[in-house]
Amino acid sequence: MPPRTLGPFQVSAIGLGCMNICHAYGPPIADEEVERLLLTALDLGVTHFDTAALYGFGASERAVGRVLSAHRSRFTLASKCGMQGVDLQGDGQLVRVIDGRPDTLRATCEAALQRLRTDVIDLYYLHRWDRRVPIEDSVGALADLVRAGKIRAIGLSEVSAPTLRRAHAVHPIAALQTEYSLWTRNPEIAVLQACRELGVAFVAFSPLGRGFLAGPVDPSTFHDKDIRRSMPRFQGAHWTANQALLTGYQALAREVGCTPAQLAIAWLLHQGNDILPIPGTARLDHLRDNLGAASVRLDAGQLQRLEALFGGNAVSGDRYGEQARTEVDTESL
C-alpha cells in the first residue's frame, strides 16, 4: 500500500482498528482467529495498528502485544488512554470510566506498556476529553510521557477544533482521531480544517459507517452487547430512511468495479493525503476486502454522485445515543 504521514511516522494508507476483535459488536473472537487476523494484516502491508485500553478492558492491547510484539519494528503502534475499565465496587466487575487526571493517564500508560509488551507506544491518544480536567492538564501529562520516553507522539480523539487548538498550544498534537465516513460528516464542520492548519494528521475511525456502508446489516440480528443498538441511525424510522440510500450507493460501487466497503474507504482516501482510515474487522475476508480500497480510483463525476447521495442532511438520526453524545466534544451537524 502507498504510505501516508501520521505525525512523525510513515504508515500504510489504510490501517487496522483493533476494537472489533474483542469489543463493541459482539463476543470476542478466539485467540487463534485474532492471531491469524493480525499477522495477515501485517503480511498484507498494514503498518498502522490502533488499539486502546478501553477495548475489552485491556484485552485488545494484550492481544496486540501477544501477537505482534515479536514484529514490533515493522509497524507503528497507536493506543489510547483516558477511558478504561475500573473496578469501582471492588467486586471484580469493571465499568467504563472517563478519567483524564494526569496520575490516571500515567498509570494507564504503564499498564498499557505491559499489556502491549513494548518499551514505547508510538502514538498515544487521549481517548476522550474528561471535561472535569482542563485539556491543558491532560495533554501536559502526556507531554511528560513523551519526555520520559514512554510514548513518541500525542493524539486526541473525538474533540472539537477549539479543544485541538488549546491542546496543540501545550504540546504538538500528531494526530486527531474521530468518526468520519460518507455518512458521518461532522469533521467537515471545523476540525478537519483545524488539523490542516496545524499540520495534524486525521485518523478516520468507523470509515464503513459501523458496517452500514459495507452491508447488508440487519439491526434485528445485532448481538445484545452490540453498541449499535443504542445508535439512533439503526433504529425505527431513521433506519428505514437510511436504507434507501443504499440503492444508489451499491449501484455506483458496481459501476466503479469495487465492493461497497472499498467504495467507502476509497472515498475517504480521496478526501486528502492527510486522512488515514482505520477500518476494524474480525474477519479475514473483510480485511482483504478493506485493504483492496487502496487501488480504487474515483473520478470527479463519481465523487460528485457520492456527495449527492450522502451530502447535507441525507443521513437520518444522530451517530450516537444520548449518553455517548454527552461524552464527546466534536462539532455536531
Catalytic residues: 55
Q: Which of 268, 257, 276 is nearest to 306 (CA)?
A: 268
Neighbouring CB atoms inside 10 A of 305's CB total: 17
Question: Which residue type does 81 have?
Answer: C
Q: What angle do CA 35, 288, 278 make, to 5 degrees?
A: 80
Burial class from Cβ neighbours inside 10 Å (0-12, 13-18, 19+) for residue 246 reads middle
CA dist 54 and 190 (Å) reads 27
Q: Which of 100, 116, 98 is nearest to 50 (CA)?
A: 116
CA dist 107 and 81 (Å) reads 10
List phi, psi (to 5°) of 27. Answer: -65, 150
CA dist 232 and 217 (Å) reads 15
CB 131 within 8 A of CB 101: no
Q: Which of 182, 186, 140 is nearest to 271 (CA)?
A: 182
Q: Is residue 266 classed as helix, strand or coil in its secondary structure?
A: helix
In eight-state DSSP terms, residue 227 is: G
